[in-house]
Structure 1
Amino acid sequence: MACSRGAASPDAHTQKRLFASSGNYCQNPACANELFIDAAGKSIHIAEMAHVFAANNNGPRARPELSKAERGSFENLVVLCANCHTMVDKAPKAYPDDMMLRWKREHASKLQQLFGAVAFTDRASARAVIEPILIENHTIFKKYGPHIEDAANPESGAAERWKRKMLTRIIPNSRRVLSILDTNRSLLNVEERFVLEEFRQHIDDLESFHIEGQMEDASRFPADMAKILEN
């Protein structure tokens, strides 16, 4: 999700936060476009960071009194597909700032409901929600992960498939599990709370590598996550 707006461009942390808040879908409620798609055997992204208030003084919905930092802040950015980004900037009067901010709030509310980030009264109920998500991620890793034989063959398309699965399934799924566990932190024992923090760092490392392109070793998925909240 590159942005060539100089000082008004969001930093790496803000970019990760924006991607997480999108859930891999355009934040325009009238649009159902996924932000990472397969095309001609490759995984490409169509995600763009749209400024609510323009990055410059002559842009759409401009507010000259805002600083560059404010223009590049999380609060002033909405994640859209390329078509919707062009639309809101070409017709700013039809898409005022309050509408775009409402899109972002409503998108966050939908994701929270979808992710089931509600407080449970017992460990078994919370476990029942996160277990299928953990199983899905594990299955994807086993079938498409960088350890498989085809991963070493650049012509197989395995690396592109793994990248797509990571961005569209594993990272959003992981964020979903994290949200549920944070909401139900009171149900965790002391050891599980440490496992949760290891999981949080693992997600951060995945996002740094797969979203920001930071070439650094990622922490391993904490094995004890597989049995968290088990009685």
Structure 2
Amino acid sequence: MACSRGAASPDHHTQRRLFAASAGFCQNPGCSNELFIDAGSKSIHIAEMAHVFAANDGGPRGNPSISPEERGAFENLVVLCANCHTMVDKAPDAFPDGMMLGWKREHAHKLQGLFGAVKFHDREDARRVVEPLLMENYAIFDQYGPHIYAARNPESGAAEQWKRKMLTRLLPNSRRMLAILDTNRHLLDGGEKQTLEQFRQHIDDLEATHIEGTCEDASRFPAGLTEILED
């Protein structure tokens, strides 16, 4: 997601927060486009950050009363596919600020339902929703992770394949698990709550590496997560 508008550009933290809020889909509720598309062995990135109030006074939905920092804030940005971004900026009168902010809220509510982020009454029901996501992520890591033999060969394409799986499956699955577990904190014991926070930092580190491209030593996946909500 690119934007070069000086102070009106979101910082790295805001970019990661926007990615997490989109869950990999255009936030226009009338659009079902995925923002990372598999194309052969590569993942094509079509996500764009659209300003609700323009990055400059003369832009779409310009608002001279807000500062450049406010224009680059999370609250003033919506993640759209390239087509929807072009549409809202070329016809700003048809897409006022209230409508675009409504898209963002509606997208969040829709994701809560899709992610199964509902409050459960017992641990067994919550575990039943989390377990398939854990299993899929483990299977992907086991087959494509950086530890496999092919990853040692820079010409094998394994690194690009791993990144594609990370963006299209592992990170969205992980954000879904975070949403479910946060909604059901009342079912977690003290140790599990600590594991949840360790998992949150692990995902934050992975997003910094695979979305921002920063070179950081990511925290390790907390082993306790594989048994969370088990009795």
Whether these two folds match at TM > 0.5 is yes
In 2, are the aligned partners of 1:27 and 1:79 still within 8 Å (CA)? yes
**Equivalent residue number for residue 226 of structure 2:** 226
Q: Deviations over 1:42-91 (max 9, x none)?
A: 22211000001100011000001110111011111000111111111111
**Equivalent residue number for residue 97 of structure 1:** 97
Unmatched 5+ residue regions in structure 2? none
The alpha-carbon deviation at position 156 of structure 1 amounts to: 2.6
**One-letter code aligned to 2:182:** D
CA distance in 1, matches of 2:40, 2:221: 31
Between stretches 52-61 and 89-98, larger displacement belongs to 89-98
**One-letter code aligned to 1:151:** A
**Equivalent residue number for residue 146 of structure 1:** 146
Aligned-residue identity in percent: 73
Matches within 5 A, 1:62-73: 62-73=62-73
Secondary structure, aligned partner of 2:49: strand
Secondary structure, aligned partner of 1:93: helix
Secondary structure, aligned partner of 2:179: helix
Count of aligned pairs: 231
**Equivalent residue number for residue 211 of structure 1:** 211
Secondary structure, aligned partner of 2:92: coil
Question: What TM-score comes out, normalization by structure 1 length?
Answer: 0.96
**Equivalent residue number for residue 55 of structure 1:** 55
Q: Deviations over 1:3-62 (max 9, x none)?
A: 111100011111111000101011112222111113353222110000011000110000
Q: Deviations over 1:125-184 (max 9, x none)?
A: 111110011101111111111111222233332212211111111111111111111111
**Equivalent residue number for residue 46 of structure 1:** 46
**One-letter code aligned to 2:66:** L
In 2, are the aligned partners of 1:42 and 1:157 still within 8 Å (CA)? no
CA distance in 1, matches of 2:41, 2:198: 34
CA distance in 2, matches of 1:41, 1:192: 37
What is the RMSD computed on CA atoms of the aligned residues? 1.1
Asked whether 1:12 is paired with 2:22, we answer no
CA distance in 1, matches of 2:91, 2:20: 27
CA distance in 2, matches of 1:104, 1:201: 25
Between stretches 30-39 and 192-201, larger displacement belongs to 30-39
**One-letter code aligned to 1:198:** Q
Unmatched 5+ residue regions in structure 1? none
Secondary structure, aligned partner of 1:10: coil
**Equivalent residue number for residue 175 of structure 1:** 175
CA distance in 1, matches of 2:67, 2:209: 30
**Equivalent residue number for residue 134 of structure 1:** 134
